[in-house]
Amino acid sequence: MTQLIEQYRKHTMPALQKEFKIANIMAIPKLSKVVINVGVGRLSKEDKVLERIAKDVTNLSGQKPTFRMAKKSIASFKIRQGVPVGIAVTLRGSRMYDFTDRFINIALPRSKDFRGIPASNVDASGNLNMGLKESSIFPELNYENVKDIFSLQVTFTTTAHTHAEGVALFKNLGFPIKTNV
């Protein structure tokens, strides 16, 4: 069992239950999935670059990503229908908690000029969306071996129903959320 699951069960669940006066423990907000997206729009013509980025995302997440294809052709962007424009992976269960633990404790502190996550990144449904400019902040990706530095977007989906529940959940899990933004 990972450290984050233990922290959730021992500290976060009772704190959220007390704060929001939730009678049923099954109604307490929790993480349901983590989605990692990488946009590769201008690199879509180079197959080797796509393979390297997919390999890096595999090392980062622990499972094989899927390619997202363009739904229709757009001449001004030089995109054809069916050409890969993104790489995505959805994490659930133990892989989700492992990635979240590494994200909070290792990757975010290594991020350049990081001063916390604004509370405005949590939407009205209690989900957190973050964009990272460099993937090299993760220790799984050796900076010397990475040829293509890519940005990625990470979405933490929860079972929270409101913005306040989502912010409280992420704070109790250890995310560095700034509330006075």
pLDDT score at 44: 60
b or e along 99-117 (b: 16 or more beta carbons within 10 Å of the residue's beta carbon)?
Answer: bbbbbbeebbeeeeeeeeb
DSSP 72: S
pLDDT score at 132: 87
Q: How far apart are CA 152 and CA 134, in angstroms?
A: 7
pLDDT score at 167: 94
Q: Which regions of the chain does DSSP assign to beta strands (E)?
A: 31-39, 66-69, 84-91, 117-118, 128-132, 152-158, 177-178
**pTM for the whole thing?**
0.88
Those residues whose C-beta lies under 8 Å from the C-beta of residue 67, and which sit 6 or more positions away, are: 50, 54, 84, 86, 87
pLDDT score at 136: 76
pLDDT score at 112: 80
DSSP three-state, residue 34: strand
pLDDT score at 45: 66
Tell me the two tokens of residue 118. Answer: 């604004």
Q: Which residues pair with 88 in a beta bridge?
A: 37, 66
Q: Average pLDDT for consecutive 10-residue bins of the chain (181 residues)?
A: 86 93 93 93 72 88 90 82 89 93 89 86 93 82 69 94 94 88 49
pLDDT score at 144: 61
CATH superfamily of 3-18+31-70+77-178: Ribosomal protein L5 (3.30.1440.10)
Q: How far apart are CA 156 and CA 123, in angstroms?
A: 11
Those residues whose C-beta lies under 8 Å from the C-beta of residue 133, and which sit 6 or more positions away, are: 151
pLDDT score at 124: 94
